[in-house]
Chains A and B, each alone.
Chain A
Amino acid sequence: MAPLELIIELVLMPLVAFIVGLMMVLMMRRIAAKLQRRVGPPFFQPLYDIVKLHGKRTQVSHGMIHDIGIVMAMGGYIAAETLLPVPGMNGIAEKGGIITLLYLMMIPSLGLALGVGQCANPNGSIGIARALTAMLAYDIPLVIVVFGVAYAAGTTNLVEIIATQQAGGFETWGAVQMPLLAIAGLIAMHASLGKQPFEIYIAPAEIATGPMVEMGGKYLGGLFVMQSFQLYTTSVLYVSLFLGGGTTWFDFLLKSFLVLAIPVSIAYLFPRYRTEDLLRLMWKWPVMLGLIGIAFVM
Chain B
Amino acid sequence: MSSIKQIPVIEEKRTNPLARVFDELVRFCRSRSLFLLHYCTGCGAIELPPAMTSRFDMERLGIQPMVSPRQADILLITGYVSIKTLKRVILTYEQMGSPKYVIGICSCTVNGGMYWQSYATAKKLDEYMPVDLYIAGCMPRPEAVIEGLQQLMQRIKTGEAKGWEDYYRNYDYYLGNQQKLFGNDWQTPTDVITEAKHYDLLGEGTLGEHTALLEQHQQPLEALEMRLGHQVKEPAE
Q: Tell me which of A37, A53, A59, A220 contacts B54 (CB under 8 A).
A: A37
Would A45 and B99 count as touching, CB distance under 8 A? no
Q: Tell me which of B26, B60, B97 contacts A40 (CB under 8 A).
A: B60
Would A220 and B67 count as touching, CB distance under 8 A? no
**Docked CA distance A60–B68 (Å):** 13
Would B33 and A48 count as touching, CB distance under 8 A? yes
Instruction: Say if the beta carbon of B141 comes within 8 Å of chain A.
Output: no
Instruction: Say if the beta carbon of B195 comes within 8 Å of chain A.
Output: yes
Report 14 cross-chain contacts, Cβ distance below 8 Å, ordered by A residue.
Answer: A41-B60, A45-B32, A45-B62, A48-B33, A48-B62, A51-B26, A52-B32, A52-B33, A56-B99, A208-B67, A208-B68, A209-B66, A209-B67, A215-B70
Chain A, interface size category, equals: 35 or more
- Tell me the minimal C-beta distance from B181 to chain A in angstroms: 26
One digit per residue, 1 when the CB lies within 8 angstroms of any chain A CB and 0 when it does not, for chain B 166-205 equals 0000000000000000000000000000010001000000
Would B70 and A56 count as touching, CB distance under 8 A? no
Report whether over half of chain A's contact residues are helix, strand or loop; otherwise say mixed.
loop
Q: Which residues of B contact A55 (CB under 8 A)?
A: 26, 29-30
- Tell me the minimal C-beta distance from B56 to chain A in angstroms: 9
Instruction: Say if the beta carbon of A49 comes within 8 Å of chain B.
Output: yes
Chain B, interface size category, equals: 20 to 34
Q: Tell me which of B54, B59, B97, B226 contacts A60 (CB under 8 A).
A: B97
- Tell me the minimal C-beta distance from A96 to chain B in angstroms: 35
**Docked CA distance A208–B32 (Å):** 24
- Tell me the minimal C-beta distance from A178 to chain B in angstroms: 39
Q: Which 9 A-B pairs have the closest CB atoms?
A: A216-B70, A55-B26, A51-B29, A48-B33, A216-B97, A37-B54, A38-B57, A39-B60, A58-B98
- Tell me the minimal C-beta distance from B50 to chain A in angstroms: 12
Q: Which residues of A contact B (CB under 8 A)?
A: 29, 33, 36-42, 44-45, 47-49, 51-53, 55-60, 120, 123, 204-205, 208-209, 212-217, 220
Instruction: Say if the beta carbon of B16 comes within 8 Å of chain A.
Output: no
Would A214 and B70 count as touching, CB distance under 8 A? yes
Given contacts A55-B30, A57-B99, contact A215 B59 (CB under 8 A): no
**Docked CA distance A220–B35 (Å):** 12
